[in-house]
Structure 1
């Protein structure tokens, strides 16, 4: 008997994950055991990542004075924390053999916060790229509360987009296939924009600072984008591969799921690593985090001076 509304999942259900049927061969038994330990590892990483992102939310939300860039990081930490939270709930649903409907709902919420995090990364990398290419225009035309307004708009659009998807899921199964195709095209577009803007940012800063160390703020952006491309992107790609290739090995899907948990968990480590870079003092985490996010004024002046010199010559 089918449980719940028409299936929109592009991920395996608890039964297909190896918790609802007996394995008849040694190969399937071995694969099921390996999948089990991959899930356990993903759950542990998600728990640690939730603690790390919670620390970032606490420090930026209540213990530090927020600047233009830290507002983006605060929202990105919130998206990562919510993704990990629903990942933990989804793994609990697997181990407790919850219904398919529970699995479906938790998976959809994970995708909401996955796309929210990707959208924030695209905005962060694009804005940093514009500030590096057109520093004078950016500093004179950028409104004071741009980051807060952009983050509010992203969360609103993301929520409305997924409310439409949930409505189609419940009412029109065929229409939801169209929604999935649109979602795939949207994720592809976001990834391309993020990749191009990050590469442009790297080339621009390297050309402007030939004999200087890469500033912390831009190093943070580039490392975060790189980690997403290596660990976060396979989850979205693997999800669509499961949709169009149902015979895909489940082990590959759960490995991508593990990488997605790593992607959302490692960002706080990047923030604190960049903040401690080149400084041997044992400063409080609040100071380290502020140092990682506080290079905006300094770098803006550096790139402006470099651009002025290039124009003069």
Structure 2
């Protein structure tokens, strides 16, 4: 959320030295987790760019990895600034904090939309295989990704300009409108689309598993959506409830770290999901990361080029 960085930074002013040490340790652990997540998403981006043939579908995966990397990078920077604030009593500049918040909000928002686009794209390929193979616009993935980046930037800028910390705490009319808009986009449009698309994929897996092994990419999508639904979705709901004063029992800085840890987990998990799904069952560690990811996305290429594909047969 736009106001999370400023709220956590200002909340540390009222904490004692013991709390500062505790929160500094928590921030440092979060920073280390961000590094692991950044490494994983960097590897995914490198493999999809240079090691695996680009397909209609892997374009979305690549952009999702970039969005997650952006989020983790700037959250890591924010956590370091908070450690500096708590240990050395040096307040980061308001301009730097605002810029960081805009960019990491942009990363998490774009990542959420990319995940929705991934789910919907795969669902359409299952429900309408002939259209997907023969009539789908050639550059739809690239065009859609461009629109997602643009919407992510606008969403983040509007959220941070219209609803900064002061407006968030005061509950201004403009900020309330922005919170309602964000809530509608998240909980009325994006999350239902993710849930419905994943439910359809689960149904397809259940109905085709008796005839043939379901594509690994289906499992990867479902696991990625599940991770999002149990980590980011509840945290965004809690921020909304906090704004509308539904609860006030948790301190702002504790609330910030709890929600940040969950979003760090979400943005870091995808590379490990791809490797877990694509690993060789007979090998203890599943071989190389490139080979594991190739097995995940190979099914996607097979479905798009094969006449007797699993998707078509599953709908008969």
TM category, shorter? 0.7 to 0.9
2:145 is the alignment partner of 1:151: yes
Q: 1:289 aligns to what?
A: 293
Contact 1:49 1:265 in 2 (8 A): yes
Aligned counterpart in structure 2 of residue 77 of structure 1, from 65, 76, 89: 65
Normalising by structure 1, we get a TM-score of 0.84
**4+ residue segments displaced more than 6 Å:** none
SS in 1 for 2:49: helix
Displacement of 1:299 after TM fit?
A: 4.3
Aligned length: 294
Q: 2:112 aligns to what?
A: 118
Aligned-residue RMSD, C-alpha: 2.7
Contact 1:56 1:74 in 2 (8 A): yes
Q: 1:132 aligns to what?
A: 126
Stretches of structure 1 that go unaligned for 5 or more consecutive residues are: 1-6
Q: How does 1:12-23 map to 2 (within 5 A)?
A: 12-16=7-11, 18=12, 20-23=13-16
Displacement of 1:158 after TM fit?
A: 1.9
Q: 1:231 aligns to what?
A: 231
Give the Cα separation in 2 of the matches to 1:284 and 1:44: 24
Displacement of 1:287 after TM fit?
A: 2.8
2:84 is the alignment partner of 1:91: no
Q: 1:4 aligns to what?
A: none
Displacement of 1:8 after TM fit?
A: 6.1
Normalising by structure 2, we get a TM-score of 0.83
Displacement of 1:50 after TM fit?
A: 0.6
Give the Cα separation in 2 of the matches to 1:53 and 1:276: 17
Q: 1:305 aligns to what?
A: 313
Displacement of 1:34 after TM fit?
A: 4.7
Displacement of 1:195 after TM fit?
A: 1.0
Q: 1:260 aligns to what?
A: 263
Q: 2:217 aligns to what?
A: 217
Give the Cα separation in 1 of the matches to 2:52 and 2:193: 31
Stretches of structure 2 that go unaligned for 5 or more consecutive residues are: 86-91
Give the Cα separation in 1 of the matches to 2:106 and 2:204: 33
Give the Cα separation in 2 of the matches to 1:36 and 1:239: 23
Range that drifts further, 210-219 or 189-198: 210-219
Contact 1:228 1:263 in 2 (8 A): yes
Deviation string, structure 1 residues 242-283 (Cα, Å, up to 9, x no partner):
323373413344122111111111111111122214363965
Deviation string, structure 1 residues 154-182 (Cα, Å, up to 9, x no partner):
11122233334445358x96423312221
Distance 1:204 1:22, change over 3 A: closer
